[in-house]
Structure formats: structure tokens, C-alpha cells
Amino acid sequence: MGIKPADIEELKITGAEEGAEIIRGILSGKQAGQRKDIVVINAAAAIIAGNLADDFEAAIKKADESVSSGEAMKCLEKLIEVSNG
């Protein structure tokens, strides 16, 4: 499915601020690589659990499209808005 095993050294971060920056980069479609792959795999699992795709391959495609297009970032921004409301 085009996802390679991740190198643990490539995934390490130094703290919450860096982690938040990385997540924003991934969800806005500006960052690719192993970190994005992990986000896509987890999102695909949620898509499967929510019965929004028939198989894992379709779920990965939906998740990748959402992340790459920036739609996932819009969802995060909405969640932040609602939770701070």
C-alpha cells in the first residue's frame, strides 16, 4: 500500500511544542514521510472502525486524501475552536 516501516530515530521529537508543529504540518498537507504515514494508518483504522470504507486500502486512500488536501487540518481547527469555545 506504499507505506514503508518507520525508523524510530526519525520519529523522535524533543517536546510538546515540536510535536504540535509536526502534527500541524502533517494535517495541513505540508509534511510527508514516515510521520505522515503513521497518521494516515491511524486515520485509516478510524475510517474502517466507522464503516466509512469497505477495506483498508480504500481507507488509506481516504485518509491520505484528507491529510494531503488540508481537510484534516480544518477538522483539527474546528475541534480546537469547539473545545476552547
* Helix, strand, coil percent content, the chain, rounded in steps of 5: 70, 0, 30
Q: 2-53: per-residue pLDDT in tens? A: 778 888 888 899 999 999 999 999 998 888 889 999 999 999 999 999 999 9
- DSSP class of residue 3 equals -
The model carries a pTM of 0.82
Q: Which residue type is seen at 34?
A: Q
Phi, psi of 82 (to 5 degrees): -65, -40
